[in-house]
Amino acid sequence: MQSTPTEKPKRFYKAVDIAETNGLWHVMLDGRTPKTPAKKSLAFPTQDLAQRVADEWDAQAEHIDLQAMTLTRLANVAIDRTPETRTELAAEVEKYAGTDLLCYLAEHPQELQDRQEAHFRPLRDWAGREHGVLLMTTQGVLNAPQPPASLEAARAFAERQNDYALTGLVFGLNLFGSAILAMAVADGELAAMDAYDISRIDEEWQIERWGEDDEAMARVEAQRREVSALDSWFKGLASAAVV
């Protein structure tokens, strides 16, 4: 009988460990390294990150919930896809910098704009000071053309990351809607959950006034799980050198 697309595979291993080989740390399932979809070894540049991914495998019960294994999914991308698509991924970071969430301020009320700027401005200043990403602000939905040199600096930041860090950086773009927030998390300037909360200032403002429906709450909870995994990803990479 064929399995259905939603059927989760059974856990096929008992012991989970990590082992170092040729400068990389491998996840080990019953003494064997699992493979990525492209049949490459599940290996990492730091012991810490390998252990975090191993813990994710060890936490699986009778069935393996691959969709919930965010660290493993990030690893598969970092190992299989990122090395071949670095140029495109760096361009994606540049694209997000061109329409960065932290540059779009509410026209009104003033209280919301003040709340945004209390969080947005220090991070814009950081990006400009530390990485040359100086971005202009606007109000409402009007486009704010950004200096080409700043967009190039955002791309250069991405290009300096190793494959694992670049993978996390681009994953952060989609979670936060902001190159600056993703850069700050990748650089250790900001915790991932703090970045996510900053990205939702406008949404939280609306919730305070109109409440939140069950569907929106479920979406946010799912995103928070992804954000927590991203935080773990970068913490695990913290001791890796940029290559």
Three-state SS letters, 10-59: ECCCCCEEEEEECCEEEEEECCECCECCCCCECEECCHHHHHHHHHHHHC
In the chain, the domains with their CATH numbers are: 16-80 (3.30.2180.10), 84-237 (1.10.3580.10)
Give the tokens for residue 118: 């209390």
69-127 pLDDT, tens per residue? 999 999 999 999 999 999 999 999 999 999 999 999 999 899 999 999 999 999 999 99
Q: pTM of this prediction?
A: 0.92
151-202 pLDDT, tens per residue? 999 999 999 999 999 999 999 999 999 999 999 999 999 999 999 999 999 9
State the CB neighbour count (10 A cutoff) for residue 209.
6
State the CB neighbour count (10 A cutoff) for residue 51.
18
Question: Are 126 and 184 a contacting pair, CB within 8 Å?
Answer: yes
